[in-house]
Chain A
């Protein structure tokens, strides 16, 4: 990805192509083997081709052409039906509201935290507390939130119990309305914000590492600026360009999310993406054309959303310019610290309680409203559901492991090639890398399914692994690229000068020294795979199901205990992955002080 790009782009497009050595014999070019040089291109094809084909295969039916479904006349019919649909205006409105609001809130919260708490111990603690949240699949978090916020959820029980103690009982019976699936999509917005804040924080912290942030801040502080104002005026303008793509990815995701919207969002109408999915699943096959048009509209909305966001960035930059040099020093930052700290504490509390609710519900036997905890506990729900849960669990594990392994091999090969050939990624390369994260899934998965049917691959393991790979690969690459490039190149040179051929240097020096980031990247990739809902739905074609599709499918049902079992299992797999990724290097290198993070 950034690398395939590198191979293609660095040499032909915008990269700083290495000048040809005057004397070919004096060059070390041949060090990057021909096989290795092919990997970036292969990676690029593997992961951009399905998206391109998928987009094509979605746009064509959107104009009425798909012979397999009887569409042979091209025209604007599907679009007309789409725009006549009574659900559409509400769905689009909801999509825009939840997408923009959740992204803005997540960005403000994460920027605010980094600005207000920079360098403090609280900041380190917040990062540690937020990290596991990154690993939790969207669906599991959404189901947990549902258990917390619904009419008979923990919050209502808490209010009932609390008010009972105070002698002013309210909600002795569950309130009719819950705080989930509200018509304004606020529960969905909250869930999205909760899930995306840790990601953005991680990105901000990573970007800060590339700027001389401490010195910048020291200059501003000694000039009399308050801590928060100093950060906002001097650090933010430097790091924003580096977090821009992640922010767009979050916006694109929030504008087109399906699994969380099915669980936390309203259903009459739902946001656009789940509405389009409903049309794709309509027994009336002609609705597929309308769905395809809707998928295309979704893509346009995301593109327009990103364009609007970009415009807002420019506007804010222009408006804030005089303020930057206006000399206002700002205050002590106590208010900002209290606000962001409080917001983060509340968010963490909500997330923690939601996830705990999964565990409690999966073990509950009798839990009457308004009891705070079950009055009787049982392992029976687990017992009864384990046989049915086993197969989707193995599929989840298998697909996740396969996609992660392939992504890891491709990423490492790309990074090795980059290191040996001495090429560096370009901005263009980074955009290509982010493609699968910027294009809404629903916008191309239908077309990709058509491709898979043509290849007779739909509903097979390779198809499922491939579809997950599209999303696993970018994250694995993003997670591994920086540590890989940061490895002191002189270790590699030293090893080579000690007589070790490249493969030996790789296996004995590079890989062991980078074992920790490699395993972390693998854990991230695995977590991404486990969380995939829509790709599993489309590529699995109903024949292959994972814990995620099962959990989301069950979430609409009545038995909270069963839902909790599936959601808990779904959440556990990636957490186990992270635990292993942290434990293995710690154990292997327990006697090597130089290997500690």
Chain B
């Protein structure tokens, strides 16, 4: 799979008359990780939902999303090739570990043997060889998190979105898992967008940071709204180098 830039072009999210995000323009090149930071309520998760095509219809959105040169804005989520990881692993509780992974495996991988082999390979890569037929509920938090990563990657995405996926883990486990995710994303050349409110996460990316303001803040106009013309380059770009 060829990779390419993930481009957000004047993306703006509104809820009613309130502008929640944007307009935001940024480019995430392959193998790079861009962090979006902001307090809760600043629309971080909604931005990711918009990028993967699952934004609640209550929001109004404008702007374009391009991935590897293709405009994916109008595509349904299953055809965008955008993988997402949430802070919960969201392993399907009714499927085994292997079935969870096979669910993500494209149908182009044909035949029971080939599919099983792909699943086993992914498990081995995650240090979970032999876990194929386990009930996900019997795995530890860290193990489940790794299965969730492998599941996302098996779907062969062209970009990766991370919705605070480390916030449920503590201490050394958290750092280890973070490296695991970043390494896999870089190795596959995926443009990656990380949403977090933890500066440690952001620091670990070695990448640029975009700060979102709290749109619900009572005093002061929310970003991008009101009379001032929106900054053409997007949001608060204080620490955001041009890519």
Contacts and interface: CB of A to CB of B under 8 A. Distances in A.
Interface of A: 16, 18-23, 25-31, 421-422, 488, 490-491, 493-502, 508-509, 512-513, 515, 589, 591-595
Q: Report the 9 A-B pairs with minimum CB-CB distance, sorted nearest first.
A: A594-B93, A593-B137, A496-B77, A594-B137, A422-B57, A25-B74, A498-B104, A493-B54, A498-B155
Contacts, number: 125
A513 B103 CA distance: 14
Given A28-B57, A422-B56, A498-B152, A592 B93 contact: yes
A31 B76 contact: yes
A493 B61 contact: no
Interface string B65-93: 00000000110111111111010101111
A140 B135 CA distance: 43
25 contacts: A19-B16, A19-B60, A21-B59, A22-B60, A22-B62, A23-B61, A25-B73, A26-B50, A26-B74, A27-B57, A27-B61, A28-B57, A28-B77, A490-B88, A491-B92, A493-B49, A493-B52, A493-B54, A494-B84, A496-B76, A497-B84, A498-B78, A499-B104, A500-B103, A501-B76
B55 interface: yes
B90 A491 contact: yes
B81 to A, nearest CB: 8
Contacts of B228: none
B149 to A, nearest CB: 12
A581 B76 CA distance: 35
Given A18-B58, A493-B54, A497-B78, 4 more contacts: A497-B54, A497-B157, A499-B156, A502-B78
B94 A512 contact: yes
Contacts of A31: 76
Given A498-B151, A592-B94, A594-B135, A493 B58 contact: no
Contacts of B106: 499
Which of the listed residues A16, A498, A502 has the most CB atoms from chain B within 10 Å of its own CB?
A498
A16 B56 CA distance: 13
A496 B92 contact: no
A27 B156 CA distance: 24
B4 interface: no
Contacts of B86: 490, 494
Contact of A22 (B14, B73, B79, B156): B14
A19 to B, nearest CB: 5
Contacts of A515: 94
Nearest to A421: B57
A500 B94 contact: no
Contacts of B104: 498-499
B61 A22 contact: yes
B60 to A, nearest CB: 5
Contacts of A422: 56-58
A267 B55 CA distance: 62
Contacts of A23: 61-63, 73
Contact of B76 (A16, A28, A592): A28
B2 interface: no
B55 A591 contact: no
Contacts of B58: 16, 18-19, 422
B141 interface: no
A26 B63 contact: yes
Interface residues of B, number: 48
B156 to A, nearest CB: 8
B221 interface: no
Contacts of A18: 57-58
A30 B74 CA distance: 10
Interface string B12-52: 00101000000000000000000000000000000001101
Contacts of B88: 488, 490
Contact of B94 (A29, A30, A494, A595): A595
Nearest to A16: B58
B53 interface: yes
Contacts of B151: 498
Contacts of A16: 58
B88 to A, nearest CB: 7
A110 to B, nearest CB: 33
Contacts of B61: 21-23, 26-27
Interface in B132-167: 135-138, 151-152, 155-157
A541 B16 CA distance: 55
B77 A493 contact: yes
A154 to B, nearest CB: 46
A484 to B, nearest CB: 16
A589 B57 CA distance: 34
Given A19-B16, A497-B82, A500-B78, A488 B57 contact: no
Contacts of B64: 26
A508 B95 CA distance: 9
Given A27-B61, A493-B52, A497-B77, A513 B138 contact: no
A493 B84 contact: yes
Contacts of A512: 94
Contacts of A26: 50, 61-64, 73-74
Which of the listed residues A491, A493, A513 has the most CB atoms from chain B within 10 Å of its own CB?
A493
A595 B93 CA distance: 6
Contacts of B94: 512-513, 515, 589, 592, 594-595
A448 to B, nearest CB: 38
Contact of B83 (A25, A497, A500, A594): A497
Contacts of B103: 495, 498, 500, 508
A591 B133 CA distance: 10
Contacts of B157: 497
B76 A499 contact: no
Which of the listed residues B50, B52, B54 has the most CB atoms from chain A within 10 Å of its own CB?
B54
Nearest to B138: A593
A25 B88 CA distance: 30
Contacts of A497: 52-54, 77-78, 80, 82-84, 152, 155, 157
A491 B91 CA distance: 8
Contacts of B80: 497
A589 B86 CA distance: 25
A589 to B, nearest CB: 6
B79 to A, nearest CB: 8
B165 to A, nearest CB: 12
A22 B20 CA distance: 14
Contact of B54 (A28, A589, A594): A28
Contacts of B49: 493
Interface string B82-119: 11101010111110100000011010000000000000
Contacts of B52: 493, 496-497
Contacts of B156: 499
A496 B138 contact: no
A325 B58 CA distance: 40
Contacts of B73: 23, 25-26
Given A25-B73, A493-B54, A591 B92 contact: no
A427 to B, nearest CB: 19
Contacts of B55: 28
Contacts of B90: 488, 490-491, 494
Contacts of A500: 78, 103
Which of the listed residues A499, A591, A592 has the most CB atoms from chain B within 10 Å of its own CB?
A499
A463 B93 CA distance: 41
Nearest to B89: A494
Contacts of A592: 93-94, 135, 137
Which of the listed residues A421, A422, A491, A496 has the most CB atoms from chain B within 10 Å of its own CB?
A496
A55 B136 CA distance: 54
